[in-house]
Amino acid sequence: MKTPARLLCIGECMVELSPAGDDKFRMGFAGDTFNTAWYVKQLLGQNWRIGYASCVGTDAVSERMLAFMREAGIDTDHVRQLRDRTAGLYMIQLENGERSFSYWRGQSAARMLADESDWLDRAFSGADVLFYSGITMAILDDPARERLSAALARARARGALTVFDSNMRTQLWNGPDAMRAGIMQGAAQADVVLPSFDDEQDAFADTTLGAVARRYREAGAKLVVIKNGAGKILVSRHDGEDFSFAPDPVRDVLDSTAAGDSFNAGFLSAYLQGADVREAVARGAEVAAKVVRAPGALVTV
């Protein structure tokens, strides 16, 4: 029997409080790279093994989070448990389908995920694909960010495909200059970059999708797919002409949480199974359209 290929997502899973009506909230577990892992697990076949690399605590909520991951079929072999830490928490507020977040992550164990280079190398050693994000970079201090970047570079050198979503949260960074530097540090280790145009406009003052694509291509990416809300998606490849893809309009948007994360999963699920880039982008848009019609970060697709 063929050994399943392995995709490892790296980052922070948090306790999520999402609106449940009448000023009540529902508890769940989510976080950008974990959301992508959760959706990819639904979408990829049995020939793929999906894992998560992070740190959690040893308290009850961390144990419940680990159980949730395992029940979803996500491998937790590379989730370390730290006694003096816990899981971060965030609360979603919605207005006209658009989300805003409040965070409590001062004792988040995930901030320690890159404290040991040897552990990173062991976690990455069996992975065919490594997926990480701007938030993965943002929650680390400068030395840990260097260790993660070096481990990604070593994995890339041995043949792993590295995929980066530049997902930006300004409040996690020590100012805009630090954010720009950290994002480009993450991009420098990526074969595939999946940015969002609104983030790039705000952070880098890019005025066109083409400018975003050029910056990431110059950083070393072989493929850049720029998400653009309801607008046209731009695809830029090192071995071909750029092209745009216009997703079908999405009506009845209920909650835009995890729109980009689920797009990433839809795109990767097709791309990693041999679809051409246009088909993979269409699959990403299709999955995201389903997700934004339902509440919360994680819905069945």
Does residue 244 contact residue 235 with C-beta atoms inside 8 Å? yes
Report the candidate in 279, 259, 258, 255 with the shortest Cα–Cα distance to residue 267: 279
- Six token digits for residue 169: 């949260």
For 258: left if phi > 0, alpha if psi spans -120 to 50, otherwise beta; the answer is left
Long-range interactions of 154-161: CB distance < 8 A, separation 24+ = 154/121, 154/124, 155/124, 155/125, 155/127, 155/130, 156/189, 156/191, 160/124, 160/127, 160/128, 160/129, 160/130, 161/128, 161/129, 161/130, 161/191, 161/192
**Separation of alpha carbons 214 and 228, rounded Å:** 16
Residue 111 DSSP class: G
User: Which entry of 77, 177, 261, 276 is annotated as an active-site residue?
Assistant: 261
**Separation of alpha carbons 123 and 127, rounded Å:** 8
261 is an active site residue? yes
96: helix, coil or strand? Answer: coil
Q: Which amino acid is at 68?
A: F
Residue 140 DSSP class: S
- Six token digits for residue 215: 């910056």
219: helix, coil or strand? Answer: coil
**Separation of alpha carbons 285 and 85, rounded Å:** 37
**Which residues are identified as catalytic?**
261
